[in-house]
Amino acid sequence: MTRPTPYIPALRFDWLTRFYDPILRATLKEEPLKRRLVEQVGLRSGQRVLDLGCGTATLTIMLARACPEAEIVGLDGDPRALAIGRDKVARAGLRVELHEGIAQEAPFPPASFDRVVSSLVFHHLDTDAKRAALARARDLLRPGGELHVLDWGRAGSTLMRLAFLSVQLLDGFRTTGDNVRGRLPALIAEAGFEGVAETHRARTMFGVMSLYRATRP
């Protein structure tokens, strides 16, 4: 599949992609946060799930292991991250589909998923791209389907705001501003989702991580 538009690597530079997994393990509460996300998704047999911006497929694999009877699909615009993800999926012996493409133009039919999940993707997108990606996520969900997002949230304190500056210097102030100001729930609601809720907040060495849930009416 050809990339329709440029993408930004998760750590901003292609040469850092191979270090993405160990860096997240060392600096963030990645495993417990993603485990909580998987539990919140509450997968059931026969459901179809899209990991939007799957990166190196860590969350994708956790979802597949949590419910082997569900159909798990990953999408990401970074071919280097996907290559790492495909190797991890193969070594795990799991039945998972990984596709190349960006969230705003996810190449799937409307109403084809029961769940859309996303981890550490939206802070890479500017406001317009966030809106486009959320609108696409809504289109891809069946009525009653759920969106689950783990990403940087409102700082909540001066200390956490200062800690988040390092993320903004790496990923850019234009894309991360909505997150640190706590605007992501409003953007989710604007995209047509209902019952938007921040279900968990966790302080990390680089700022606050928030977990969100919403439903497609």
- Counting the structural domains of the chain, the total is 1
The whole model's pTM is what?
0.88
- Specify the amino acid at residue 40: Q
Assess contact for 129 and 171: CB atoms under 8 A: no
Q: Is the residue at 1 inside a domain?
A: no
How high is the pLDDT of residue 4? 43
Which residue type is seen at 99? Answer: H
Joined tokens for residue 113: 């998923």
**151 and 180 Cβ atoms separated by less than 8 Å:** no
Decide if 132 is inside a domain: yes
How many other CB atoms sit within 10 Å of the CB of residue 162?
11
Q: Are 117 and 37 in contact (CB under 8 A)?
A: yes
In the prediction, which pLDDT does 31 show? 85
Q: Tell me: pLDDT of 16 over 60.
A: no
CB distance 188 to 178 below 8 Å: no
Query: Is there a domain that residue 87 lies in?
Result: yes
> 4 in a domain, yes or no?
no
Those residues with Cβ within 8 angstroms of residue 202's Cβ, 6 or more apart along the chain or in another chain: 29, 33, 208, 209, 210
Q: Is residue 165 part of a domain?
A: yes
Q: Please give the pLDDT value at position 1.
A: 35
Position 187 in a domain: yes
Q: Could you tell me the pLDDT band of residue 171, with boundaries at 50, 70 and 90? A: confident
CATH number, position 106: 3.40.50.150
Question: Is there a domain that residue 9 lies in?
Answer: no
The answer as to whether 2 is a domain residue is: no
Res 8: pLDDT = 59
* Residue 85: pLDDT over 70: yes
Q: Cβ(133)–Cβ(52) under 8 Å?
A: yes
Longest dimension (CA), the chain: 45
Q: How many CB atoms lie within 10 A of CB 173?
A: 11
Gyration radius (Cα) of the chain, Å: 16
Range of the domain at 79: 14-215
Asked whether residue 155 carries a pLDDT value surpassing 80, the answer given is: yes
